[in-house]
Amino acid sequence: MSQSKREILSSEQKFQRRVFVVRVALGQGTQAAVLRSGVPERSVRRWKARFQALGLDGLRDLSRAPKRVANKKDLDGSLGRALTELNKTEPGLTRIQVLAKLILEPSPDIVALSWIARTRKRLGLTRKKRQKKNEHTIRYEIATPGFLQIDTKVIAKDGEAGEKLTQFTAIDECSRVRFLSGDLFKSAENARKFLQNAVKFYASLGVTVVRAQTDHGTEFTLPENEQTIASYARGETDEALFTKECKALGIIHRLIKVRTPQLNGKVERSHRTDEERFYSRFRFVTDRALDHALKTVWMPEYNELRPHSSLGGMTPMDFLRKKLKEIEENKKIQETKKQTEEKKAA
């Protein structure tokens, strides 16, 4: 014997059904309403009483939300206001960092990560997801340190509308260790000096720079002097000052495809972190102040204190030390194998 499927009605359909049943019950009696609608007598009497007490509103669905929620946090709203303020002043904080700051707030409630996620969504503080393009979305990792992505970031000068400062950035694709420098403007000469300083910085960490990957910005493609400006107009970059410096240092200068910044994705993503975690807190008037803050405040924090999800939760410096240790161990293993094979051959 087949059972009939239960009919699923919307809230408005349920309301219209109750109005019909109550109209019949008031006009013809409760038993007639039961017979015509098939609704139990108990429900008919309840709907009739609700209509007589509250009118048509009494026949609508009542809220099923509890009047009191057990263990509800932030009844006075202080934590929500603190969360909103943190989102404005330091928008790049992770949930763990937000939790650490909210714990210091004077509140009787104990904040949890799940509460932060729910409250961010409720207050509309979550970041909108960006639409992903199909091209150039294949992620890759380079196993050996020494492959750099280099780019510049323009910074608004504090107190002077329209005035700009420049940040030069180099990031190692393997370890995400960055070298930063502040300058007054973008130029081929400044880019050349930055490359020299970056090579010295990575050498102090035990990393030999193999390749420098840049976009087609003028600071990376302008020639050394006016005599070679014709080659630049033809799209040739062999005479570019930055390229010449790369050759002098034994580095490959690789130019990415025009209008594809996603090919320099690691340095571009790090610039977004700069905006969220550094420039949201500090403003600069001079290039010297910018350069000093980058090298003494932000570089150490980014390289040595800030964990990266792409590195398995390790900081860039810790990951670099681990990678260099693995490379050294592999060299020793290869040397041992080579010596063993030479002995066998002899």
Give per-residue pLDDT as tens, 228-260.
Answer: 555 555 666 567 889 999 999 999 999 998 888
User: Is it the case that residue 132 has pLDDT exceeding 80?
Assistant: no
Task: Mark whether 84 and 32 lie in a shared domain.
Answer: no
User: Is it the case that residue 226 has pLDDT exceeding 80?
Assistant: no
User: Is it the case that residue 2 has pLDDT exceeding 50?
Assistant: no
Does 215 map to a domain? yes
Taking every pair of C-alpha atoms in the chain, what is the biggest distance, in angstroms?
Answer: 114
Task: Mark whether 303 and 170 lie in a shared domain.
Answer: yes
Task: Mark whether 160 and 211 lie in a shared domain.
Answer: yes
Per-residue model confidence (pLDDT) at position 129? 66
Task: Mark whether 114 and 257 lie in a shared domain.
Answer: no
User: Is it the case that residue 227 has pLDDT exceeding 50?
Assistant: no
User: Is it the case that residue 199 has pLDDT exceeding 60?
Assistant: yes
Provide CB contacts within 8 A for 177, sequence distance 6+.
145, 171, 202, 205, 207, 303, 316, 317, 320
Per-residue model confidence (pLDDT) at position 237? 57
Helix (H) or strand (E) holding 318: helix 316-345
Please say whether the beta carbons of 151 and 167 come within 8 A. Answer: no
Does 271 map to a domain? yes
Task: Mark whether 209 and 289 lie in a shared domain.
Answer: yes
Per-residue model confidence (pLDDT) at position 232? 55
Q: Please give the Cα distance from 271 to 286 (Å, whole number).
A: 20
The predicted model gives 184-201 an average pLDDT of 94
User: Is it the case that residue 225 has pLDDT exceeding 70?
Assistant: no
User: Is it the case that residue 136 has pLDDT exceeding 70?
Assistant: no
In this structure, what CATH number is given to the domain that contains residue 163? 3.30.420.10
Does 310 map to a domain? yes
Out of 63-77, 85-99, 226-240, 277-291, the most confident range is 277-291
Q: Please give the Cα distance from 307 to 267 (Å, whole number).
A: 16
User: Is it the case that residue 57 has pLDDT exceeding 90?
Assistant: no
Residue 170 phi/psi, 5-degree rounding, is -125, 130
Task: Mark whether 91 and 24 lie in a shared domain.
Answer: no
Does 135 map to a domain? no
User: Is it the case that residue 4 has pLDDT exceeding 50?
Assistant: no
Task: Mark whether 52 and 178 lie in a shared domain.
Answer: no
The predicted model gives 114-139 an average pLDDT of 75
Q: Please give the Cα distance from 221 to 37 (Å, whole number).
A: 83
270-304, pLDDT tens digit by residue? 999 999 899 988 999 999 999 999 999 999 999 99
Does 54 map to a domain? yes
Structural domain tally of the chain?
A: 3
Per-residue model confidence (pLDDT) at position 245? 93
Task: Mark whether 36 and 98 lie in a shared domain.
Answer: no
Does 276 map to a domain? yes
Nearest to 152 by CA among 140, 164, 142, 137: 164
Does 67 map to a domain? no
Structure tokens at 8: 């699923």
Please say whether the beta carbons of 95 and 116 come within 8 A. Answer: yes
Task: Mark whether 115 and 27 lie in a shared domain.
Answer: no
Does 92 map to a domain? yes
Task: Mark whether 54 and 82 lie in a shared domain.
Answer: no
330-345, pLDDT tens digit by residue? 999 999 888 888 888 8
Per-residue model confidence (pLDDT) at position 3? 46
Mean pLDDT of the chain: 87
Task: Mark whether 86 and 179 lie in a shared domain.
Answer: no
Q: In terms of residue numbers, what domain contains 167?
A: 147-322
Q: Please give the Cα distance from 148 to 267 (Å, whole number).
A: 9
pTM: 0.67
Task: Mark whether 240 and 118 lie in a shared domain.
Answer: no
Please say whether the beta carbons of 47 and 59 come within 8 A. Answer: yes
Percent of the chain with pLDDT over 90: 46
